[in-house]
């Protein structure tokens, strides 16, 4: 019998809400199939998200690690070298995790922002994805996914914003935003 299993590259992008939470839904599905999932969160760090506590119950089958500080200076401001250093460390860990054989699925949450802010070279990410072990699934999230990575991915979903509570002045809600 031929084995039809194949590791996929997925991207959740676009301006609408749901990129990270959809990745966590995919992770939950994988864990339920006996797979081991690692989510590395680029840039995130200062907020305490409910999922961190929920996932603790899965032990080593579903691990979420925050690799940033939770805020990044962008726009006109100079990029803080500390943030660049944290992105670099996150990327090194991501690359190692993908190739380690330890994880069936590696989720690179918010990595598209790190690339978009010029803190990580998309060519390096593309190279690692091309060379990934056959069966490992990799999920990338964040707005404005780089065209090179979109091209490389198997499944790309763009979240479209129809409306968001924030526009009515409703602040981030527990259980919805964090």
Q: Please report how close the Cβ of residue 135 comes to Mg ion at its closest, in angstroms.
A: 26
Ranges of beta strands (E only) in 35-161 are: 37-41, 62-66, 105-109, 137-141, 155-158
Q: Which of 7, 18, 45, 116 binds ligand ATP (CB under 6 A)?
A: 18
Q: Please report how close the Cβ of residue 21 comes to Mg ion at its closest, in angstroms.
A: 8
Site mask for ligand ATP (CB under 6 A), range 75-114, x = bound: -----------------------------------x----
Q: Which of 9, 12, 13, 20 binds Mg ion (CB under 5 A)?
A: 20
Strand order in the sheet with 62-66: 62-66, 37-41, 105-109, 137-141, 9-13, 155-158
Helix (H) or strand (E) holding 124, with range, is helix 122-130
Q: Does 71 bind ligand ATP (CB under 6 A)?
A: no
CB 39 within 8 A of CB 111: no
Look at the block and give the residue holding tokens 């939770």.
70
CA dihedral 134, 104, 146, 88 (to 10 degrees): -110
Q: Does 172 bind ligand ATP (CB under 6 A)?
A: yes
Q: Please report how close the Cβ of residue 124 comes to ligand ATP at its closest, in angstroms.
A: 22
Residues that bind ligand ATP in the complex, under the rule CB under 6 A: 15-21, 110, 141, 143, 159, 161, 164, 166, 172, 177
Residues that bind Mg ion in the complex, under the rule CB under 5 A: 19-20
């Amino acid at each position: 019998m031929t084995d039809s299993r194949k590791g996929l590259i997925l991207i959740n992008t676009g301006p609408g809400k749901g990129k990270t939470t959809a990745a966590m839904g995919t992770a939950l599905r994988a864990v339920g199939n006996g797979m081991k999932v690692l989510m590395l969160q680029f840039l995130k760090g200062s907020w305490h998200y409910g999922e961190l506590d929920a996932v603790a119950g899965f032990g080593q089958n579903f691990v979420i690690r925050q690799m940033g500080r939770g805020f990044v200076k962008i726009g006109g401001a100079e990029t803080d070298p500390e943030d660049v250093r944290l992105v670099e460390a996150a990327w090194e860990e991501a690359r190692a995790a993908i190739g380690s054989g330890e994880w069936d699925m590696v989720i690179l949450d918010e990595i598209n922002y790190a690339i978009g802010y010029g803190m990580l070279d998309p060519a390096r990410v593309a190279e690692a994805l091309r060379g990934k072990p056959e069966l490992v699934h990799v999920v990338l999230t964040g707005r404005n996914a780089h065209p090179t990575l979109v091209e490389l991915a198997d499944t790309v979903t763009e979240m479209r914003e129809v409306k968001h509570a924030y526009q009515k002045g409703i602040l981030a809600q527990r259980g919805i935003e964090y």
